[in-house]
Amino acid sequence: MFHYYSPAELALPARRRFLQEAGMGFGSVALASLLHGEATAAPAAVDPLALKEPHFPGKVKSIIWLFMTGAPSQVDTWDYKPELQKRNGQQLAGADPKTGFFTTSGKCLKSPFQWAQHGNSGTWVPDIFPYLSKHVDKMCFLHSMYLKQNNHAPASIELMCGTNRPGLPALGAWMTYGLGSQNRNLPSYVVLHDTRPRGDDQIWSAGFLPKTYQALALDARRKETIDNLSRDARHTDQQQRSQLDLIRQLNQEHAISRPTQADLAARINSFELAYRMQMAAPEALDLAGESMSMHKLYGTDRPECATFGRQCLMARKLVERGVRFVQIFAGKGVGGDGSVNDVPWDCHSDVETNHRSCGMYTDQPAAALLSDLQSRGLLESTLVIWGGEFGRTSDSQGDKGRDHNPNGFTIWMAGAGVRGGMHYGSTDPFGYKAVENKVHVNDLHATLLHLLGLDHTRLTHRFNGRDFRLTDVGGEVLRGILT
Its pTM stands at 0.84
**Dihedral (Cα; 142, 135, 299, 309), 10-degree rounding:** 30
CATH T-level assignment (fold) for domain 62-236+286-481: Alkaline Phosphatase, subunit A (3.40.720)
Q: What is the pLDDT of residue 19?
A: 47
User: Taking the CB of residue 33, how many other CB atoms lie within 10 A of it?
Assistant: 9
Q: Give the Cα separation of 260 and 148 in Å (integer).
A: 35
Task: Report the candidate in 386, 382, 241 with the shortest Cα–Cα distance to residue 308.
Answer: 386
User: Taking the CB of residue 69, how many other CB atoms lie within 10 A of it?
Assistant: 29
Q: Give the Cα separation of 240 and 271 in Å (integer).
A: 11
| Three-state secondary structure call for residue 410 | strand
Beta strands 382-387; 62-67: pairing state: parallel
The residues, any chain, with a CB within 8 Å of residue 433's CB and separated by 6 or more, are 94, 146, 407, 408, 427
Q: Give the Cα separation of 308 and 193 in Å (integer).
A: 9
Radius of gyration of the chain (CA): 28
DSSP string, 217-238: EEEGGGTT--TT-SPPTTS-HH
What's the one-letter identity of residue 470? L
| Three-state secondary structure call for residue 315 | helix
DSSP string, 337-354: TS-EESSTT--SSBHHHH
Q: Give the Cα separation of 217 and 226 in Å (integer).
A: 9
Tens of each residue's pLDDT in the chain, 483 residues: 445 555 555 455 555 554 455 544 444 434 444 434 433 444 445 678 889 999 999 999 999 999 999 999 999 999 999 999 999 999 999 999 999 999 999 999 999 999 999 999 999 999 999 999 999 999 999 999 999 999 999 999 999 999 998 899 999 999 999 999 998 888 899 999 987 788 778 899 999 998 889 998 988 877 666 665 555 666 666 765 666 666 666 667 666 766 666 666 666 666 566 656 666 677 778 899 999 999 999 999 999 899 999 999 999 999 999 999 999 999 765 554 555 566 689 999 999 999 999 999 999 999 999 999 999 999 999 999 999 999 999 999 999 999 999 999 999 999 999 999 999 999 999 999 999 999 999 999 999 999 999 999 999 999 999 999 999 999 999 999 999
What's the one-letter identity of residue 454? L
Q: What is the pLDDT of residue 274?
A: 60
Q: Give the Cα separation of 197 and 311 in Å (integer).
A: 16
Q: Give the Cα separation of 36 and 256 in Å (integer).
A: 12
The domain spans of the chain are 62-236+286-481
What's the one-letter identity of residue 449? L
Q: Give the Cα separation of 91 and 478 in Å (integer).
A: 35
Positive or negative: CA dihedral 380, 382, 384, 389: positive
